[in-house]
Structure 1
Amino acid sequence: MSPISIGVLAIGMSVDAMIASLGRRAAQTRPTFRRAIGTGMVFGIVEMITPLIGWFLGVVASQYIQAFDHWIAFGLLGAVGTHMAWNSLGRHPETPVDGGSATMLALIVTAIGTSLDAMAVGVSLAFLDVNILLIAAAIGAATMVMSTTGMMIGRYLGAQFGRYAEVLGGLALISLGALILHEHLTAATT
Structure 2
Amino acid sequence: MSGYIGEFISLLFLAVALGLDAFSICLGLGMQRLRLKRIAIIGMVIGAFHIVMPSIGIFLGKVISGQIGHWTELAGGVLLFVIGAQMFFSAFSHEKQRVIQPIGAGLLLLAFSVSMDSFSVGLSLGISGVKTALALGLFGLISMLISWAGMLLGRKVRGVLGVYSEILGGSILIGFGIRLIFG
SS at structure 1 position matched to 2:127: coil
1:104-183 mapped onto 2 (5 Å cutoff) = 104-183=104-183
Q: Provide structure 2 residue ranges, at least 5 long, that are not aligned to the other structure.
A: 1-5
Distance between the aligned counterparts of 1:18 and 1:147, measured in 2? 5
Q: Is residue 11 of structure 1 aligned with residue 54 of structure 2? A: no
Q: Is residue 102 of structure 1 aligned with residue 102 of structure 2? A: yes
Contact 1:66 1:127 in 2 (8 A): no
CA RMSD in angstroms comes to: 1.6
SS at structure 2 position matched to 1:126: helix
Distance between the aligned counterparts of 2:90 and 2:10, measured in 1? 24
Letter in 2 for 1:130: V
C-alpha deviations, 1:125-161, integer Å up to 9, x for none?
1122311111011011011001111111113333331
Number of residue-to-residue matches in the alignment: 178
Q: Which moved more, 1:7-16 or 1:126-135?
A: 126-135
Contact 2:42 2:102 in 1 (8 A): no
Q: 1:44 aligns with which of 44, 47, 52?
A: 47
Distance between the aligned counterparts of 2:136 and 2:117, measured in 1? 13
Distance between the aligned counterparts of 2:51 and 2:98, measured in 1? 20
Q: Is residue 89 of structure 1 aligned with residue 95 of structure 2? A: no
Letter in 2 for 1:11: V
Q: Which moved more, 1:131-140 or 1:156-165?
A: 156-165
The aligned counterpart of 2:66 is: 63
The aligned counterpart of 2:3 is: none
TM-score under structure 1 length normalisation = 0.87
The aligned counterpart of 2:80 is: 77
Distance between the aligned counterparts of 2:54 and 2:101, measured in 1? 26
The aligned counterpart of 1:33 is: 36
Q: Which moved more, 1:30-39 or 1:162-171?
A: 30-39
Q: Which runs of 4+ in 1 moved over 2 A?
A: 155-160
TM-score under structure 2 length normalisation = 0.91
Instruction: Tell me the percent identity.
Output: 30
Q: Provide structure 1 residue ranges, at least 5 long, that are not aligned to the other structure.
A: 184-190
Change (3 A) 1:128 1:19: same
